[in-house]
Structure 1
Amino acid sequence: MEIREVLVDVVLTIILVVSTLTLVWRVWQDLTMAVATTLMMLSLGGLFLSLNYKIQQLDASVIARERTMRVNLEEISRTMEQKYDNTVQHIDATVNDITRRMYR
């Protein structure tokens, strides 16, 4: 994960904490309440960051599985095509053999 992707989330979390601290400080002017609310908003911001990281990991995992499935399907397709070609060749050889026997 690149820093540019997380930078927006970190900045928004900092803004959330600072605005909460300012709001609580102006309204109640109680240091304990301001610190508790700030910690609560900081943990909420951390939760958002954690969820964002987990969602990105799940997205990468889904993309990797999809790529693996696509490769497996292509391999199965090639194998089935080879089996089909072998069967058609065998049937053609059998039909040609039977045709030669009928004209003798």
Structure 2
Amino acid sequence: MDARDSLWDGILIVVLVLSTLMLVLRLWQDITIVVAATLMMLSLGGLFFSLGLKIRRLEESIISRERTMRVNLEEISSSLSRKHERIIEQLGVIVDGMNRRYR
């Protein structure tokens, strides 16, 4: 799906540049304006493309961090559960010892 998005972004950049050329086609006598407008639209399209890539990388980073946090929380939960069980067993042994002593 990422390649599809990149292809779609590329198509939109081409449409952006072509529409700019059509807008300045009337000014074809002055090649400087045509070149400047085309370069401006290419840089604007490249900027949009770059921002899209950065946003995708940020999303992937957030997803991986969330996954890591979820795994860490599960490990902490299981560790606390084991400690809880050990403490309960120790308390049971202590209570049994006190019951035997005071009978």
Q: Residue 73 of structure 2 aligns with which residue?
A: 73
CA distance in 1, matches of 2:13, 2:78: 51
Q: CA deviation at 1:2?
A: 3.4
Aligned counterpart, 2:21? 21
Structure 2 residue ranges without an equivalent (≥5): none
Q: 1:3 deviation in Å?
A: 2.0
Root mean square deviation of aligned Cα: 1.1
Identity of matched residues, %: 51
Q: Which residue is 1:34 aligned to?
A: 34
**Hey, what does 2:64 align to over in structure 1?**
64
Paired with 2:97 and 2:52, the residues of 1 have a C-alpha distance of 67
Q: Which residue does the alignment assign to 2:82?
A: 82
Gaps spanning 5+ residues in structure 1: where?
none
The alpha carbon displacement at 1:98 in A equals: 0.4
Runs of 4 or more consecutive aligned structure 1 residues displaced over 4 Å after TM superposition: none
Map of 2:7 onto structure 1:
7
Shift of 1:35: 1.0
TM-score (norm 1): 0.93
Q: Which amino acid aligns with 1:10?
A: G
Aligned length: 102
CA contact (8 A) 1:25 1:31 kept: no
Deviations 1:32-82 (A, max 9, x none): 101110010001000000010011001000100000011001001111111
Q: TM-score, normalised on structure 2?
A: 0.94
